A = this chain, B = another copy of it.
Amino acid sequence: MNWYTEQWSNDCKFSIAYDKKIYSEQSSFQQINFYQGKEFGTFFTLDGLMMVNEKDEFIYHDMIVHPAFATNPNIKKVLIIGGGDGGTAREVLRYPNVEEVVMAEIDERVFRLCQQYLPVTARGVEEDSRMKLRFEDGLEYVRNAPDQSFDLILVDSTDPVSVGEGLFTKPFYKECYRVLNADGILINQHESPYFAEYAANMKKAHTKIKDIFPITHVYQYHMPTYPSGHWLFGFASKRLDPLKNLNVKAWEQFGLKTKYYNTNLHIGAFGLPNYVKEALNR
């Protein structure tokens, strides 16, 4: 048996058996590996960290996309930063109201390889006429975008190292604020509260975003293949509150079948454990 192993902390690791390594490439930005196994189907890693697998990608992609649309069902213009596997775009494109989706992914190779090896997330994305693919640095993209040009920004990034680093900085969040319109929402990959290294990144991101956006929340979900299985997204906005403005009726009228998300879970996801709230506010 071959094992893909990821260190979750110095003293803790998670291993997945795979039948074969399908593909491996050092792109201009990172090491990309694709594996295939029984429990998780096809999965790929960037610089040795699990990104997406066929078994639980639905959890991450439901949770990065649907809470924003249930808070503002009128979202029309969406900017995805990162998200090279295509899963986030796939979920956004299910909303008929959406008119334009820009995906600024720094590494085109991730997207092209997912089109080839991970159709569950990438298939159909490029073909949708509302999609605008920009293979460039997300930070650069927002710097050059006009004021108030998006309703929603989804930061679907790696951890704050390598290509993901700039997406956890105050200048980046400031640019996001500027390009969002008055009802704008920023959702960002917010790391995890449990292992010290990830918790430190969680706190840093939250502190920076709180300085810029008037409304900031953090919400949680069960993502078994990410370290500790307890993973977070940030919800920041200029005006809309994910609980007070939750529009259950409007969201249900979209008639979307989801495997993880529902509007009760939406409310529950914001009910953080005390130790997480304390860490965020410290």
Mark A residues whose CB is within 8 Å of B. 3, 9-17, 37-40, 56, 58-59, 194-195, 220, 222, 224, 228-230, 258-262, 264-275, 277
Contacts and interface: CB of A to CB of B under 8 A. Distances in A.
A255 to B, nearest CB: 14
A96 to B, nearest CB: 21
A144 to B, nearest CB: 38
B13 A15 contact: yes
**Assembly of this chain: how many copies?**
2
A38 B266 CA distance: 35
A250 B1 CA distance: 54
B271 A262 contact: yes
Contacts of A194: 56, 222, 224
Contact of A273 (B11, B262, B270): B262
A10 B17 contact: yes
Given A12-B15, A39-B12, A229-B228, A59 B273 contact: yes
29 contacts: A9-B39, A10-B38, A10-B39, A11-B16, A11-B39, A11-B40, A12-B15, A12-B17, A12-B39, A12-B40, A194-B224, A220-B222, A222-B228, A222-B229, A222-B230, A224-B229, A228-B229, A258-B274, A259-B273, A259-B274, A262-B277, A264-B272, A265-B272, A265-B273, A266-B271, A268-B269, A268-B270, A268-B271, A269-B271
Contacts of A260: 273-275
A195 B230 CA distance: 16
Contacts of A224: 194, 228-230
